[in-house]
Amino acid sequence: MLKLKPLSLNDDVHEYQLLQQIGSNENGFHNDMFGASLSEYKTWLEVETDAAMGCNLAVGYVPRSTYWLIDDSDMPVGIGRIKHDLTPAMLENSGHIAYAIGQQYRSRGYGQTLCQLLVDECRQFKINPVQVTVEQENKDSNKIVQHVGGVLVGRFGDLNIYQI
């Protein structure tokens, strides 16, 4: 059974290897660790741990939590993020959740599972409605968001804006 695991300072080479399968801005998912060294990855884990607690955030950023989608063999197959809140500017062109599945794990339904688990986790943060943005040409992600209850509420440039 697939499950979410919060990012941890103890995350190892398996999570790092997953991040090397996801481009730096693949389908709108920002992955600063694509092509990074293992040392840079360890520093990134510290930054993301701080971000989950709302510490040391850059101006204009909000607290965010990062999760791994873990398969039955305890291997990471995807990554997801939840922004705990959206600023007024973010409401126009951003969402609470973002996710990506490693290349070798795609087309197995993992994206839909990860999206649903992230929406469920948002409820723990009392986020309602959950806002999700998807590039219009990303047909698969648009279908996934609609399948988990997303209703199209607007567009910003080439982004569809959904609320769940």
Q: How many domains does the chain have?
A: 1
Q: Tens digits of per-residue pLDDT, 22-73?
A: 999 988 899 999 999 999 999 999 999 999 999 999 999 999 999 999 999 9
In a domain, residue 33? The reply is: yes
In a domain, residue 136? The reply is: no
In a domain, residue 137? The reply is: no
Q: Tens digits of per-residue pLDDT, 63-108?
A: 999 999 999 999 999 999 999 999 999 999 999 999 999 999 999 9
What CATH number is attached to the domain comprising 26? 3.40.630.30
In a domain, residue 153? The reply is: no
Strands (E), the chain: 3-6, 25-26, 29-30, 64-70, 76-83, 97-101, 131-135, 151-156, 159-163
C-alpha separations of 6 from 45, 79, 126, 152 in Å: 11, 10, 18, 29
Domain region containing 82:
3-126
